[in-house]
Amino acid sequence: MGDISLSLVLMQIVAGVALGAIYALIALGLSLIFGMLTVVNFAHGAFYMVGAFLGVYFYTLTQNFWFSLLLTPLTVGVLGLLIERFLVRPLYGRGIDYPILLTFGLSYVLIEAMRILFGIGGVPTSTPAILRGAVNLGIGYFPLYRLFLIGAAAVIILGLWLFIEKTRYGLIIRAGSRDPEIVRVLGIDISLIWLLVFGLGAAIAGLSGVLAAPTRAVNPEMGIPILAESFVVTVVGGMGSLVGAVVAGLLVGVVFSMTSLFAPDLADLSIFVLMAVVLVVRPQGLFGKAGLLS
């Protein structure tokens, strides 16, 4: 403990923010789908995993990271559209358990599909050449790619907020989540809105995967732990709250990072302790509303 300097603590906080940026993006897609459709999507971690695999595949194919960053979420988003239209939609109105069971089984289907296509050992990854190296933050050198993660997450979060809060389509989405019957009366196809929201949530998960791929081992099981972590973030922030997903994602990332510094053996446990504390103090989460699952 005596060897831990202030600069090391500050660097660890920055590392936690970079980790939290990925958590925030994943939880954002999860909260978007739940908040608008009231669907607890257990395939969200699998979408993240598919995004990581496709990101590596497209990058290997084209040697262009930016092309991969664009094409991957589009591909995973289209996959999400197909899943919502043909698998999830028939289960609306049957209770919250049905989509949970469907998406839980679907996640294993996607895992097996990636095993067949890419092998059980996964694929090797590397940081794009343009984003290699480190930047002097004044408190030490920090990897450039992790700073890029923070900036990319900030841009995506801001773009999604502007879309939801400041556009006509965002207004329709918000109205549809609160009172779909009124939206139908106004002549708007609510089914199309739900389709696009599910596709957007899947695309965000896929984008999270391609962004995280250079920092993690890309294998078919990588979505399983991230799903548990993203649900922790979603519960801490409040189910269905987009603001909560962002704040909780950063908070969980910093808590994990700081625990890794002071008590590495307790790092994985720390985020669940944080969730337990938040639920004791505020059962609906930091920004959640009570009764969403009732």
pLDDT tens digits for range 105-141: 999 999 999 999 999 989 999 899 999 999 999 989 9
Look at residue 92 in the predicted model and tell me its pLDDT: 87
Q: What is the distance between the alpha carbons of residues 211 and 54, in angstroms, rounded to a whole number? A: 11
At residue 171, does pLDDT exceed 90? no
Q: What is the pTM of this model?
A: 0.94
At residue 256, does pLDDT exceed 80? yes
Q: Are 216 and 52 in contact (CB under 8 A)?
A: yes
Domains along the chain?
6-281 (1.10.3470)
pLDDT grade for 292, boundaries at 50, 70 and 90: low
Report the candidate in 287, 288, 289, 16 with the shortest Cα–Cα distance to residue 150: 16
The distance of Cα 262 from the centroid of its chain, to the nearest Å, equals 27
Look at residue 141 in the predicted model and tell me its pLDDT: 93
What SS3 class is residue 134? Answer: strand
Residue 107 CB coordination number (10 Å) = 21
- 135, β-bridge pairs: 142
Q: Which residues of 247-286 are buried (b: 16+ CB within 10 A; e: fewer)?
A: bbbbbbbbbbbbbbbeeeeebeebbeebbeebeeeeebbb
Four-CA torsion 37, 79, 114, 152, nearest 10 degrees:
-80
At residue 291, does pLDDT exceed 60? no
